[in-house]
Structure 1
Amino acid sequence: MSTASFFTESDGRFDPTRFSLSLWAPRTLNGPAVCAIAARSAEIAGGADGFRPVRFTIDLFRAARADPTTTTATMLREGGRVRVVEVDIFQHGGDEPVRVARSTTVFLKESTNPAGERWERPTSAFDPPEVPDDDYYPRFAADATTSADGSPVAAIEWTSDLAALQGPGRKRHWTHPLPVVPGETPSPFVRAVIAAESTSLMANWGTTGIALINCDLTVVLARLPRGVRVGVEADFHLEDDGISASTCTLYDVDGPFGTGAVAAVNNAKAEIDFTSVKPEDRMKQA
């Protein structure tokens, strides 16, 4: 079993590990780590029998640093069918705590589906690779497409080579999310949020790397994922004036279960070019 985690915890304080580090800049944390700690805190505060987390939204106010981190959870609503929990994430690297992010998680009461038939996305398009459960390294794939000059671009089969994925094709990701803290298996909700943070990577990753950085994440779940792995497939992407809007489908071995959505802004000065940057020391996660 992997002993890797995003943070270590002591007396309510979370200290980032090397697996939480970002490739954007030195001593910054990656999005999955920040989202993971928020989702975990929300579930601890708002989870209850019969209530399921169905929507998680986080606003990333500023870059999180490799500093001691704490969370504060507040129950905004506690109703018979709806619960809402707000989580603030603070970092303690100076004289005063700095709030780096705030999330809101909605929990809904489970019941039964109403009568009638409604359209649902078919599940036949999802064919995840077979990967051993103890292998934490993510796999990536891309669809065949056409380049800007009209030449064909071949599909990329499932691979762990990020440089091979640096093209214009629609991308997908198959991942085994890390624990938030050592010895704790991530809940299905936390796994979904960690994986969904790759919505920005899958949708904003182009021929020169990733040069748009997301300032938020919204995850909407019809059900919780089954199994230890989660897939993220790009669905929608548009960009204009240095701003992009993107969505991805979240899926597991049984098919789709939710969506991820992000807004992102031009960050070309710190563009991550996966043909030259080798992230294996942070992405192996084991």
Structure 2
Amino acid sequence: MTDIVPFTGQTLCQVKSELGEGPSYDPATDTAWWFDIKGRKLHELHLSSSTKRVHDLPLMGSAIATIDPSRQLIASDDGLFVRDTNSGKLEHFAAIEDKPGNRSNDGRVHASGALWIGTMGYDAEKDAGAIYHVAGSTVTRLFSNITIPNSICFSPDGATAYFTDTTVNDLMRVAVDPATGLPTGAPEVLSEQKGYPGGIDGSVCDADGLIWNARWGTGTIDVYRPDGMMVQRYAVPATQASCPAFIGATADRLLVTSAWQGMGEKARAADPEAGRTFELGIAVKGRFEPAFRL
């Protein structure tokens, strides 16, 4: 583990999410989006004006992707939905799996326009989840027996996918077809993190191929090279950092969600920023998320 660079950023949202997750950014509208999964909320922040809205949801959303200027794809505990950005209306698009005790968790869109989405038990039951590939309405299971799927992201050339099961805490990589986002080989361990504090949570991959990971339990954003070497650690003012996303007109800023899930009264008092959403405060070489292709 490397030394931790002190936090020099800012708080983007004072609202404390029980489980802040799934951030994304739409450059066409200069808007950042993220969820409070447990609170059934969708947060919307227009960056240049600092205009903030919170949308109530009838489901537990966890990942969001742009389809076109008027539609978004939302992954949830009840499957995949298309959301109208003007009215907020949700239309069921596809089922992910037939497990009533499961919900969606981490996910991102590959350059091909296909979505990778992980599922897990509501109470993180052992091996209850999986990771799926969604191309249009075709859903394909990729990896089974996963407890907490996280860290899904892709290399800039679209030829490598990264993921983890946070309970195992190995950062994994697998070769994928750049044209489809489907695996072309078997997963292998990129960085073994067993025995180290905290857990590998959400990640995003920058234009240089660096993997920016939110490490749950340590209040850090950790940066890995494509060979698995950790090269930098940045402090986040909340212990349970959950997921990063590149934001801004040139994707040169990093948003980080966090959570107060599982904290008792004393723990929350000792971690007063828990659940807030931050900007890391450094310049990054980010990339915009691809649109999901119907």
Higher CA-based Rg: 1
- Scaled by the length of structure 2, the TM-score of the pair is 0.24
Higher share of residues assigned strand: 2
Query: How high is the TM-score relative to the length of structure 1?
Result: 0.25
